[in-house]
Amino acid sequence: MNVEHVDIAVVGAGPAGLKAVQIAARAGARVALIDDNPRPGGQIWRQGPTLAPAAQLRQWLDETRAHANLIVMNGTKVAAAPDDKRLLLEHDGAPLMLAYPKLILATGARERLLPFEGWTLPGVTGAGGLQALVKGGMPVRGERIVVAGSGPLLLAAADTARRHGAHVVAMVEQASLARVGSFVASLTLTPAKLAQAVRLGVACYRTGSVVVRAHGNARVEAVTIRARGRETTLEADRIACGYGLVPNATLALALGCSTDERDGAILVDHSQRTSQEHVFAAGECTGIGGMELASVEGAIAAHAALGIAADARLVRERDRWRAFARRVAHAFELGADARALPSPDTVLCRCEDVSIADVAAHANWRDAKLQTRCGMGPCQGRICGEAAAIYFGWPLTAARPPFAPVRIDTLIAARESTETPVS
């Protein structure tokens, strides 16, 4: 098996990873950027057939193109972390071992999806999922869409859908009007975010409301919303429902990095160093805070990996955006209606078709997995495991390798790598 040696490996090509790579490559280090998407940019700067690169991404592409010491591995999966300072990758359909002395995790976040009746109907996605699909070229022109869940991502998803010709029937936010109003008032502390909120607009914005049911035969035809005990049904062709973001710490846990028991975020010190001395982390995997925070954390992590003290200006900027992140978390904390258990026959695990009732009959996540196969499908519990944590208070556990669906020869290489040391 081929082995690639680098000075710094960066996993994740969103704002945090791109900034870290930019600084490390400019300093002359041999850097590898690993990302499972076909193009760099992450969710925030996702490219597509009809979507040109954002200005910030275009600038990054122009600057880094000249760096011969940068290896960009798009469409690459991290399959396993077989031992200290090595990652087993699946790159161009073949296994590849990457050896590094320093690693920066910029693995971002995934969307929190909470089940409701009918959520398995075609036409139901996450809010961020809708954004990704539209940016990837899925047509939505003329469709009636309800965007629901919680957090600022709803505004961005609705704006993306509108700009591509969809009719956004309603934006359904679970947080109360008081909390949302207080958060909007606090945006005066971050004028750029206030301008962004004004630009995205709040038409058809319903607070204190949750989606409880999707209706339809072959696909979504309508959606029922509950607000203050009263239900309203709206005709819709598509439902995009996501309850915020969850730090993606799977690889960090496999590497032995400590995480926050409350939200699963990777714990880091002032230099973005994790509990593993040679591993750093930046961006949404250390806590949900937006692209500005992710970018500055990526810069600080790169300086630390290079053995350079971060500029005081960067630290002040990080503190500013962390304060903003705390305000977001407080404003959009899940309320009782969002946490309410759906009907017993609602599907919790879509991969293995396991209902809420089947899972609720067990004492913990491990027992539920063993007895029902919940969490043992392609997503490896990333969706249903988070929902179970919300509904039953069960702590999340790390996914076992392989961390993503990979080819059989990659699995064979993973086994061989644990048996035969790489020289």
Alpha helix ranges (H) inside 164-210:
177-186, 191-200
- Binning pLDDT at 50, 70 and 90, where does residue 422 land? very low
E strand or H helix that includes residue 4: strand 3-5
Burial class (CB in 10 A: 0-12, 13-18, 19+), 191: exposed
Q: What is the pLDDT of residues 239-257, one digit of tens each?
A: 999 999 999 999 999 999 9
Burial class (CB in 10 A: 0-12, 13-18, 19+), 407: middle
Distance CA 151, CA 172 (A): 10
What is the dotted CATH code of the domain comprising 113-243?
A: 3.50.50.60
Q: How many Å from the N-terminal Cα to the C-terminal Cα in the chain?
A: 11
Distances (CA, A) of 400 to 104, 133, 339, 372: 21, 28, 27, 18
Mean pLDDT for 95-109 is 96
Mean pLDDT for 167-191 is 91
Edge-first strand order for the sheet with 230-235 is 209-215, 222-227, 230-235
Strands (E), 269-363: 279-281, 347-349, 354-355
The CATH 3.50.50.60 portion of the chain extends over 3-110+246-328, 113-243
Q: Is 212 within 8 Å of 117 (Cβ atoms)? A: yes
Distance CA 276, CA 131 (A): 34
Strands (E), 70-130: 70-73, 77-80, 86-91, 94-99, 102-105, 109-111, 124-125
pTM over 0.75: yes
Class at the top of the CATH hierarchy for domain 3-110+246-328: alpha beta
Q: Is 150 within 8 Å of 111 (Cβ atoms)? A: no
Q: What is the pLDDT of residues 23-52, one digit of tens each?
A: 999 999 999 999 998 888 777 777 666 566
Beta carbons within 8 Å of 65's beta carbon, 6+ residues apart: none
pLDDT at 423: 37
Number of CB atoms found within 10 A of residue 274's CB? 25
Beta carbons within 8 Å of 201's beta carbon, 6+ residues apart: 155, 159
- Binning pLDDT at 50, 70 and 90, where does residue 398 land? low
Q: What is the mean pLDDT of the chain?
A: 90
- For the four alpha carbons of 51, 121, 148 and 360, in that order, the dihedral sign comes to negative
Q: What is the pLDDT of residues 325-341, one digit of tens each?
A: 999 999 999 999 999 99
